[in-house]
Chains A and B, each alone.
Chain A
């Protein structure tokens, strides 16, 4: 089914008119309700009156993750915090996390786009869904929850982890839809084999996988292992969480809901638009959000975009799978990690800038592993083996409590980490995805 046929199958002229109208309104709205945006627009000499159609969008300045960081916690909100109904938090590049706030209207929007996501994947009202994304400050769990409520599904709010219990619920309750990270889905397969479950007979027919990079080969593996359809969902908390784009059953790109999240693809170096079909950085303007409305937000995700009508009947543009990042962010088990966050933790422990390297690996059928290599320098070298062990343990605990992920810490000799042109390579990603 198509959840919102009017919006999702609209002709391009009508869509442009709606986008233009909404852009005028949102620019006016942020200008008059958010001091930071007023200053930003004034600094560029842009008055809201200059924005007449969607084609004027390139006159607007970009918004970046740094803008969010500088405005921590609520400085970029376009409404007083008393009007915010829900707050979510994701990782920031250093120190402060990124905070996003939803008004009642925003939660309604989130429910709407997530219902579209579910319908795109092939879900029908009355289906059962097992939501194995984390519930809490992470947007994954609750985003799917709201969309499922809206659509009228039977929800199993399993959250992440407790794999044996997940499999038992699947076996006993027979949900048709599974929502989780793709690597967790494969991890569950390993566990299911150990429990002697017949994977081909699982009740899951449709999977909605996202929150981390994955490839076509991983899709094939999931589909053949579980005998299910594996679809890709895209989103980021700054924009709304999951619910920005989703594949239909033809799996030829992710339909992006451009009536509410206007996409542009730019060359990250020149900031000029790339030609249709070329890779570039995805930039999104939230056309209707009230709490955290963002103009031309630079996602740092590399995609390509195409505008042809899809065989499913929807006219919405489609983005490719995420092909990479413009920064050094890595995603581990669905959690965004910036090397600078690790550096921040290490600085706090030692009071000195240590040399470190992150090694990410994903062994077959297992979840991502993050190993933090820290060079032992004269300054932090304690000659007692016990003290070195304590140091490892302390670093591990600090990183775990700050980032919320399990890491392995390994102490290495000074100069172990290769430096090229004086700059150390901070991330080694060994994952084959």
Chain B
């Protein structure tokens, strides 16, 4: 099951660099990231090739960070496809806590990362796969 690394960082100069420096020293590849800004602080969410190594390296330097199970869904980069995914989740009454996406091959393939609430990720995977979505595992992600 893919995991996303979530890190608490203060909103002041140099804090992002202190995270990226540690990741760079650990030779960790960032596949995707997003930062939620809440004024004095933010939460940085990272999809990386070696989540356990990255987590240990950051925790070792004193960062407050956790690994969280997420769903990584491959979607065709065509109009209406995110809507199709969202409708499917609605149909099964699955709430999304947070999500972010990126295009990996323009016009062909995009990736959507989903943190869900209430339902088991394994169950959601089944639902999505049944409707033709490709849900990625650790190996596929590290090869993105």
Q: Which positions in A face B, CB cutoff 8 Å?
A: 376-378, 381, 383-385, 388-389, 410-416
Contact mask for chain B residues 19-47; partner A; CB cutoff 8 A; 1 contact, 0 none:
00000000000000000101011110100
- Take A385-B38, A413-B9, A413-B10 as given contacts and tell me if A376 and B64 are in contact as well, using a CB distance cutoff of 8 Å: yes
**B interface residue numbers (CB < 8 A to A):** 6, 8-10, 15, 36, 38, 40-43, 45, 59, 62-66, 68, 97-98
Which of A411, A412, A413, A416 has most B Cβ within 10 Å? A413
Residue pair A388, B9 in contact (C-beta under 8 Å): no
B6 contacts A411, C-beta separation under 8 Å? no
Dominant SS among interface residues on chain B: strand
Contact A388 B38 (CB under 8 A): yes
Q: Give the tally of cross-chain contacts (CB within 8 A).
A: 47
CA A384 to CA B64, docked complex, whole Å: 13
A414 engages B10 (CB within 8 Å)? no
Q: Residues of B contacting A378 with CB < 8 Å?
A: 59, 64-66
Contacts of A384 in B (CB 8 A): 43, 97-98
In the complex, A385→B6 CA distance in Å?
10
At the interface, is chain A mostly helix, strand, loop or mixed?
A: loop
19 A-B interface contacts by CB (under 8 A) = A376-B8, A376-B41, A378-B64, A381-B65, A383-B6, A383-B66, A384-B43, A385-B36, A385-B38, A385-B43, A388-B41, A388-B43, A389-B38, A411-B8, A413-B10, A413-B15, A413-B62, A414-B62, A416-B10
Question: For A385, what are the chain B residues with a Cβ–Cβ distance below 8 Å?
Answer: 36, 38, 42-43
Chain A contacts for B10, CB-based, 8 A: 412-413, 416
Whether B64 contacts A377 by the Cβ 8 Å rule is: yes
Distance in Å: Cβ of A356 to nearest Cβ of chain B: 15
Q: Across the two chains, which residue of chain A brings its CB closest to B41?
A: A411
Q: How far is the CA of A416 from the CA of B9 in the complex (A)?
A: 11
In the complex the two chains form, what is the Cα distance from A325 to B49 in whole Å? 55
> How far is A415 from B63 in the complex, measured between Cα atoms in Å?
9
Most chain A C-beta atoms within 10 Å of own C-beta, residue among B10, B45, B68: B10
A-B interface, 6 closest residue pairs, ranked by CB to CB distance from nearest: A383-B6, A381-B64, A415-B62, A376-B64, A414-B62, A376-B8
Report whether B8 and A413 are in contact in the complex, using a CB–CB cutoff of 8 Å.
Answer: yes
B45 (CB) vs chain A CBs: closest residue: A383
CB pair A381 B8 closer than 8 Å: yes
In the assembly, what is the distance between CA of A411 and CA of B39, in Å?
A: 11
Is the beta-carbon distance between B64 and A413 smaller than 8 angstroms? yes
* Nearest CB in chain B to that of A389: its residue: B38
A414 touches B63 (CB 8 A): yes
Max chain A Cβ within 10 angstroms of own Cβ: one of B8, B41, B68: B8
Q: How far is the CA of A383 from the CA of B36 in the complex (A)?
A: 11
* Contact between chains at A411 and B40 (CB < 8 Å): yes
Cβ–Cβ < 8 Å partners of B66 in chain A = 378, 381, 383
Q: Within 8 Å CB of A381, what residues of B?
A: 8, 64-66
Instruction: State A376–B59 Cα separation when bound (angstroms).
Output: 12
Q: How far is the CA of A410 from the CA of B10 in the complex (A)?
A: 10
A413 to B8, alpha carbons, bound, how many Å? 7
Q: Which residue of A lies closest to B66 (CB)?
A: A383
Q: Which residues of A sit under 8 angstroms from B45, Cβ to Cβ?
A: 383
* Contact among A377, A383, A415, A416 with B43 in the assembled complex (CB-CB below 8 Å): A383
Chain A nearest CB: distance from B116 CB in Å?
A: 12
5 additional contacts (CB under 8 A) given A388-B38, A388-B41, A412-B10: A378-B65, A378-B66, A383-B66, A411-B8, A413-B15
